């Protein structure tokens, strides 16, 4: 079994076996968790640390004093590793990217390989409200990884990008900013669907109906209308709820609806069939994420 490196931070102090590999906590898991708890904000996020510009002498390479008035939040920063990833027969380094971002999707946080740095705030607690049995994560990861290996290089990369951008939304501060990324994910899912053999349609609004029909996902016309109107106003007129982005209020429900619809589509396009994909996406509260259901 080949080591694919470490990633973090996932507060899951268990070994997770899946078909083709496993993840296991690093030896320093408790130290990393202590760091997250000590530095995380009570709002459920960990924020970039403060950095300062330091002058140094390029000839002697000696550091001088801090530059005054140069303190600022870091543009990018690292988090401690929580798990090591092992894969039996990886196709390439993209196997690791798939598993890491898929875990982030399922557990409702944002994950990156340890050698990469985060930008913006990072959730320390799950932003999903999935309720599931203990054997579901392994079943889900195994199925998606098995399907992913059968796809073309292009589709494999596109699915990873969908997961990555879905996770990046969690670092966005404002609703209108979150909406942009969520709609980007939705469009990428539609493109994935058509490249995989689905019939294309004209008009962005019809994409909702097409994808919902294709994967037996409930359709709600009023909610789709509101999402579509936000998209047109923001993308074509730079308006958010009739105002300047960042100034107007509202949009929370539409962003939540689109995020929940995207979650169902991410699961469905992988071929993972369960009741979650068929459940309502226009409600709040906990959502049951069940195991794969074989066709009868």
**208-263: pLDDT as tens digits:** 999 999 999 999 999 999 999 999 999 999 999 989 998 878 899 999 999 999 99
pLDDT tens for 250-290 read 899 999 999 999 999 999 999 999 999 999 999 999 999 99
Query: For the whole model, what pTM was predicted?
Result: 0.94
Number of independent structural domains in the chain = 1
**How far is Cα 109 from Cα 271, in angstroms, rounded to an integer?**
23
Residue with tokens 């404002």: 174
Residue 95 domain flag: no
201 part of a folded domain = yes
Looking at the domain assignment, is residue 228 inside a domain?
yes
- Residue 286 placed within a domain: yes
Specify if 277 maps to a domain.
Answer: yes
261 domain-assigned? yes
Asked if residue 57 belongs to a domain, the reply is no
Is residue 296 over pLDDT 60? Answer: no
The answer for residues whose C-beta is within 8 angstroms of residue 167's C-beta and 6 or more apart is 101, 104, 105, 109, 110, 111
pLDDT digits (tens, 9 = 90+) for 162-192: 999 999 999 999 999 999 999 999 999 999 9
Q: Which residues form the domain of 264?
A: 172-296
Q: Does some domain include residue 10? A: no
Average pLDDT, the chain: 94
């Amino acid at each position: 079994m080949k080591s694919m490196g470490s990633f973090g931070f996932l507060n899951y102090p268990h070994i997770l076996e899946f078909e083709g590999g496993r993840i296991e906590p690093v030896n320093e898991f408790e130290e990393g968790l202590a760091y997250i708890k000590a530095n995380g904000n009570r709002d459920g996020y960990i924020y970039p640390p403060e950095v300062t510009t330091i002058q140094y002498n390029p000839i002697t390479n000696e550091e001088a004093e801090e530059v005054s008035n140069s303190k600022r939040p870091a543009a990018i920063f690292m988090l401690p590793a929580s798990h090591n990833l092992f894969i039996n027969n990886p196709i390439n380094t993209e196997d690791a990217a798939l598993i890491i971002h898929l875990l982030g999707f399922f557990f409702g946080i944002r994950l990156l390989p340890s050698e990469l740095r985060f930008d913006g705030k990072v959730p320390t607690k799950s932003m999903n409200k999935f309720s599931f049995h203990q054997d579901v994560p392994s079943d889900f990861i195994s199925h998606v990884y098995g399907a992913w290996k059968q796809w073309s290089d292009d589709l494999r990369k596109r699915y990873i990008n969908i997961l990555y951008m879905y996770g990046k939304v969690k670092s966005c501060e404002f609703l209108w900013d979150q909406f942009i990324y969520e709609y980007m994910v939705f469009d990428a899912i539609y493109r994935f669907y058509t490249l995989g053999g689905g019939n294309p349609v004209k008009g962005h609004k019809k994409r909702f109906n097409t994808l919902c029909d294709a994967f037996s996902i409930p359709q709600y016309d009023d909610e789709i209308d509101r999402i579509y109107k936000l998209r047109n106003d923001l993308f074509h007129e730079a308006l958010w709820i009739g105002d300047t982005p960042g100034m107007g209020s509202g949009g929370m429900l539409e962003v939540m609806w689109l995020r929940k619809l995207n979650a169902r589509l991410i699961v469905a396009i992988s071929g993972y069939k369960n009741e979650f994909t068929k459940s309502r996406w226009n409600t709040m509260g906990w959502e049951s994420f069940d195991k794969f259901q074989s066709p009868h």
